C-alpha cells in the first residue's frame, strides 16, 4: 500500500517502476505436495515505450480504477497523471 502522502511525493515518469507477480500452485506428482511459487518482474515505466499496446492497456486500467478509489476513499496506487503519461509514452495509435 502506498504511503498516505504518495500524491505529494510527485515522482517523475523516469522515477516510476512497474512490478508484477505471477503466483502458481502445482501439485508434485510423486510426493503429492503442493508447490507455491511467485515470479516477480520489475521494469522502469519508460520501458513501455517499446510496448505501446501494454502502455495503453495499463493507462485504461488505471483510468477506470481511479474513480472507484475516489468513491471508496482509498488511496491511489499510482500518481493521478500516470494514465495520460502512459498514453503519451505509447505514442499515436
| CA pair distance 67, 58, nearest whole angstrom | 15
What percentage of the chain reaches a pLDDT higher than 90?
75
Q: Please state, rounded to an integer, the average pLDDT across all residues of the chain.
A: 89
Beta carbons within 10 angstroms of residue 69's beta carbon: 14
Q: Are 11 and 31 in contact (CB under 8 A)?
A: no
Per-residue pLDDT, averaged over 70-89, amounts to 91
pLDDT of 60 > 80? The answer is yes
pLDDT of 75 > 60? The answer is yes
- Predicted local distance difference test score (pLDDT) of residue 29: 95
Dihedral, 17, 60, 1, 48 alpha carbons, nearest 10: -10
pLDDT of 87 > 90? The answer is yes
Q: Could you report the per-residue pLDDT of 5-25, keeping only the tens digit for each?
A: 555 556 888 999 999 999 999
The string over 49-65, giving b where at least 16 C-beta atoms fall within 10 Å of a residue's C-beta and e elsewhere, is eeebeebbebbeebeee
User: What's the Cα-to-Cα distance from 19 to each of 25, 60, 70, 81, rounded to whole Å?
Assistant: 20, 17, 23, 18
Amino acid at each position: 500500500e502506498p504511503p498516505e502522502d504518495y500524491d505529494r511525493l510527485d515522482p517523475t515518469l523516469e522515477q516510476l517502476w512497474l512490478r508484477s507477480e505471477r503466483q502458481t500452485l502445482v501439485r508434485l506428482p510423486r510426493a503429492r505436495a503442493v508447490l507455491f511459487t511467485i515470479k516477480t518482474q520489475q521494469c522502469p515505466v519508460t520501458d513501455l515505450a517499446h510496448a505501446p499496446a501494454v502502455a495503453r492497456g495499463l493507462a485504461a486500467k488505471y483510468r477506470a480504477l481511479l474513480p472507484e478509489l475516489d468513491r471508496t476513499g482509498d488511496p491511489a496506487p499510482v500518481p493521478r497523471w500516470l494514465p495520460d503519461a502512459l498514453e503519451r509514452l505509447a505514442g499515436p495509435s
